[in-house]
Amino acid sequence: MAKEKQTAAVIRQECIATDIYSMWIETSIADVSHPGQFISVYPKDRSKLLPRPISICETAPGRLRIVYRIAGSGTAEFAGYKSGDPIEILGPLGNGFPLDGQDALLIGGGIGIPPMLSLAKALPGKKTVVAGYKSELFLTEDFAGHADLWIATEDGSSGTKGTVLNAIRENHLTGSVIYACGPMPMLKAVKEYAIEQGIPAWISLEERMACGVGACLGCVVKTTGKDEHSNVNNARICKDGPVFDAKEVDLT
Amino acid sequence: MNTQVCIAGIPFKNPVMTASGTFGSGMEYEEFVDLNRLGAVVTKGVSNVPWPGNPTPRVAETYGGMLNAIGLQNPGIDLFIKRDLAFLKKYDTRVIVNVCGKSVEEYLEVVEKLSDQDVDLLEINVSCPNVKEGAIAFGQDVKALSAITKAVKEKAKQPVIMKLSPNVTDIKELAKAAEASGADAVSLINTITGMKIDIRKRCFALANKTGGLSGPAIKPVAVRMVYEAAHAVKIPVIGMGGIATAEDAIEFIMAGATAVAVGAMNFHDPYTTIKVIEGIEAFMREEKITDLESIRGCVN
């Protein structure tokens, strides 16, 4: 199935932490999506032109789950949707994570944790998840049975005090491949760590987007080599990403 | 029912085009839209060499619209011909290539490279507000616009559309200057220069500080300017600016536009162009209009 924009239905929604919402959506997009891909969600408020890109947290036949944070009035609108409400979505978008990793180290920071769930469920072999929070935890129980979970909190209220990197070093966590999604400072630190350890790393990036399908060139990231599509050192996060080989993107 | 329109002697199956920069070269939209149904695909601006564009963030949402400061990132004319034009050949639609440059020479280099290509018309971008040199500098001054129009017309093998900026005092003067210098048509409006400030971070929403405003928020400005331009010149006017529906497109046509283009709304709904085409046909049936030409400029 090609990408399509459709009006899907909300199955159920709950608030799982302060400003963090989990929504299950009934949609055929679920059956053709891949871990690390995202959907565009369109506010019904027509003063808002652009879709909100939201990562897919997990899927089941005919349904998918998004876990997102209220970041403005668009996502606040989504948070008000109830069971049975229509929701305008487009997807699946982006490339997703390669699934060839054995003994994988999955690193998620904040609202970058949700896509790690579908990845943990899809990857073969041993999986270690390191989740970094400010303080309040979410999704921790969902990883049970799919991966070993290690937690870092900025205030030290759970797990290691500090960042995901603190948790990795303190607990001597390792793997043969790293997958990461989270805020830019975390991704920079993960890239440095991966290079230092000589481990390949796949990182998922975000940027302000408009079209979500690769046409507008709004959401580019600098690449270390010349990108084939742009013919300059810019790749499209929505289309060529959001997942990149950490060595191929310039995060400075 | 006749929805065909004619620009510079070239017939278009319908008046609905894509606005440059909002549709790539069609590749990213072919899975949503049958490109054969479009009046024309107007490509993203292309320059003589690859351009990297501006730093991010490049886009920001505003009330009923958006700001962009992409900075005309493009792969350069050589790859564009090899890849994008080769792709568009598969489709039975008109191809209009948007040309940008930092100097007259750079525009002419692109125009020359397109001379033996399967391209129906050229749209000369003298109105992008997001690059420091060239572009809008040619579109805000009557003398500069006249000079570049003449220079392009001398070299071009295809008919030439000059894409005009709304960031001017009197659009009529610019439209007249383009016509007097040989332009075959004018298209307008490009985006309106704007700014957004992130009050929490106390910084500009765009890395470029300013950007071009597009989307439904700008439509009344665009309709007014298309009306003024259409009444100032005899050459065809291609109208655009915030078109979201067939009703919007018909407003532009009644204001005097020969054809129209869908821009930022492609980002909101990738099927917008097709909905506009079907909506125009439905409107013609309802209003018993047999030829679209009969309502063009009907508001006077």
Q: What pLDDT score does A119 carry?
A: 97
pLDDT, position B133:
67
A208–B57 CB contact, under 8 Å = yes
Give the residue from A39, A90, A207, A211 with the most B CB atoms within 10 Å of its CB, the best one to mutate: A211
Q: Domain for residue B226, yes or no?
A: yes
Contact between chains at B268 and A216 (C-beta distance less than 8 A): no
Instruction: Give the pLDDT confidence of B75-125 residue by residue, as tens digits.
Output: 999 999 999 999 999 999 999 999 999 999 999 999 999 999 999 999 999
Neighbours of A173 (CB within 10 A): 16
Angle between the N-to-C axes of helices B142-155 and B171-180, in degrees from 0 to 180, rounded to the nearest 10? 30
Task: Specify whether the backbone of A168 is left (phi greater than 0), alpha (psi in -120 to 50) or beta.
Answer: alpha
Alpha-carbon gap, residue A99 to A108, rounded angstroms: 17
Mean pLDDT of B264-289: 97
- Sheet strand arrangement including A148-153: A160-161, A148-153, A127-133, A104-109, A177-181, A201-204, A243-245
Give the CA radius of gyration of chain B: 18
Q: Report the C-alpha gap between A116 and A179 in whole angstroms.
A: 8
Separate counts of helices (H) and strands (E) for chain A: 4, 15
A229 → chain B, closest CA residue: B75
Residue B246 lies in a domain: yes
Burial class of residue B202 (count of CB atoms within 10 Å of its CB; 0-12, 13-18, 19+): exposed
At B129 the pLDDT is 74
Structural domain containing residue B50: 5-54+72-192+213-295
pLDDT in tens, B118-148: 999 999 999 887 776 666 778 899 999 999 9
Q: According to the model, what pLDDT value does residue A252 have?
A: 85
Cross-chain Cβ contact B61/A213 below 8 Å: no
Which of A217, A223, A227, A240 should be substituted to probe chain B, the one whose Cβ sees the most B Cβ atoms within 10 Å? A217
Question: A216, A220, A229, A239: best mutation site toward chain B, by most B Cβ within 10 Å?
Answer: A216
Residues of B acting as catalytic residues: 128
Fold of A4-93: Elongation Factor Tu (Ef-tu); domain 3 (2.40.30)
Q: Is the residue at B64 inside a domain?
A: no
Task: Convert the pLDDT of each residue in A2-44 to its tens digit.
Answer: 788 999 999 999 999 999 999 999 999 999 999 999 999 999 9
CATH for B126: 3.20.20.70
CA of B199 vs chain A CAs: smallest distance (Å)? 13
CB atoms within 10 A of CB A72: 12
CATH 3.40.50.2300 is right for the domain spanning A205-252:
no
Give me the number of domains chain B comprises: 1
Average pLDDT over residues B191-208: 97
Question: Across chain B, what does the average pLDDT equal?
Answer: 96
Task: Give domain status of residue B10, yes or no.
Answer: yes
Among the listed residues A6, A179, A186, A189, the one whose alpha carbon sits nearest the alpha carbon of residue A89: A6
In this structure, the strands spanning B10-12 and A234-236 are: unpaired
Return the pLDDT at B137.
Answer: 77
Q: What distance in Å separates residue A42's CA from the closest CA in chain B?
A: 8
CA distance A55 to A139: 14
Q: Does B62 fall in a domain?
A: no
Q: What is the pTM of this model?
A: 0.95
Is A210 within 8 Å of B68 when comparing Cβ atoms? Answer: yes
Mean pLDDT per 10-residue interval, chain A, length 252 residues:
87 98 97 97 96 98 98 97 98 95 93 98 95 97 95 97 97 96 97 96 97 97 95 96 97 90
Given a contact cutoff of 8 angstroms between Cβ atoms, the answer to whether A188 and A166 are in contact is no
Q: Where are the domains of chain A?
A: 4-93, 97-200, 205-252
Predicted local distance difference test score (pLDDT) of residue B132: 66
pLDDT at A242: 98
Residues of B in contact with A208 (CB under 8 A): 56-60
Q: Which of residues 154-213 of B touch A (CB under 8 A)?
A: none
pLDDT at residue B138, as a whole number:
87
Q: Distance (Å, rounded) from C-alpha B36 to C-alpha A38? A: 29
Three-state SS string across A86-127, please? Answer: EEEEEEEECCCCCCCCCCEEEEEEHHHCHHHHHHHHHCCCCE
Average pLDDT estimate for B244-252: 98
Judge whether residue B217 has pLDDT over 90: yes
Output the CATH code of domain A97-200.
3.40.50.80
**pLDDT tens digit string along B157-185?**
999 999 999 999 999 999 999 999 999 99
CB A95 within 8 A of CB A240: yes
What does the angle CA B249 – CA B253 – CA B254 come to, to the nearest 5 degrees? Answer: 115
